[in-house]
A = this chain, B = another copy of it.
Amino acid sequence: MVGKFYGIGVGPGDPELITVKAVNILKNIDVVVCPEGKKDTESIAFNIAKDYLSDDMQTLKLHFPMTYNENTLNEKWKENAQIIADVLRSGKNIAFLTLGDPSVYSTYMYLLPFLRERDIDIETIPGITSFCASASRVNIPLASGDETLCILPLRRGLDGLDEILDNFDNIVIMKPSHDNKKLADKINERKLNDNFVMISKCSNNEEEISHSVGRLRDQQVPYLSTVIIKKGGIR
């Protein structure tokens, strides 16, 4: 029998913030994809999941190049999809682990079109996003009633952020370390100092919660941070 391919969201960091469904599937996974050449979010995902995996689980190292060249990427995705298809044909189930949720800015989703071309049986298991975990951690709503919520990764130069700050009630900024100094200045400029919180490494041992613009301006803002801005107030 041909195996099945699972994309599994393992949540933000605390191994308990994974779903019962993910745990039940992980028990029966034969092979876990370990992407190489990427930021280490996938190895963090592996550490979250490892106690749920069976002892005889194997890893499949796949090279995912750090490039924006689309042709190079497509070639590599195709090659990796073929390797995955071959392992599935040998009857093994494969998991691709994703920090947070697979539908929110994950590498996993780039791979899917190449797997679909090969008629692979795919199931995606949702996970707790960093922004939901962060809001829960400080007991605040991301959005209430008729309010809108905007989620965006921080772009260098804060492209488009002013318009979003004008028009939205609640804004989640992912990857603030991309340009945290400019973001801190913008929060100052727009007098939002009492309207934001930054949560880094949410729900793991090194978690940090800060309401300080000075901290946000700091060089050492971790990659795994989330900024929540609530124009109606945060505390």
Q: Is A223's CB within 8 Å of the partner chain B?
A: no
Contact B105 A144 (CB under 8 A): yes
Of A34-42, A53-61, A126-134, A188-196, the stretch lying at the interface with chain B is: A126-134
Contact B104 A143 (CB under 8 A): yes
Complex copy number for this chain: 2
Q: Which listed residue (B20, B105, B112, B139) contacts A112, Cβ 8 A?
A: B139
Q: Is A183's CB within 8 Å of the partner chain B?
A: no
Chain A 111-147 near chain B by CB (<8 Å), digits 1 or 0:
0100010000010111111001101110111111110
Per the 8 Å Cβ criterion, residues 97-111 of A in contact with B are 101-106, 109-110
Q: Is A62's CB within 8 Å of the partner chain B?
A: no
Contact A16 B19 (CB under 8 A): yes
Which chain B residues border A137 with CB–CB below 8 Å?
124
Chain A 132-175 near chain B by CB (<8 Å), digits 1 or 0:
11011101111111101111110100001001100110000000
Which chain B residues border A14 with CB–CB below 8 Å?
21
Given contacts A136-B125, A150-B148, contact A18 B19 (CB under 8 A): yes
Chain A interface helix/strand/loop/mixed: mixed
Which chain B residues border A163 with CB–CB below 8 Å?
167
Which chain B residues border A17 with CB–CB below 8 Å?
19-21, 126
Residue of B nearest to A106 (CB): B141
CB distance from A198 to the nearest CB of B (A): 16
* CB<8 Å pairs between A and B, sample of 25: A7-B136, A7-B139, A15-B20, A16-B19, A17-B21, A20-B23, A104-B142, A104-B149, A105-B144, A106-B144, A109-B141, A110-B144, A124-B136, A124-B139, A126-B132, A126-B136, A145-B153, A146-B153, A148-B150, A148-B152, A148-B164, A150-B150, A151-B151, A160-B167, A163-B167
Q: Is A11's CB within 8 Å of the partner chain B?
A: yes
Of listed A112, A128, A137, residue having the most chain B CB within 10 A: A128
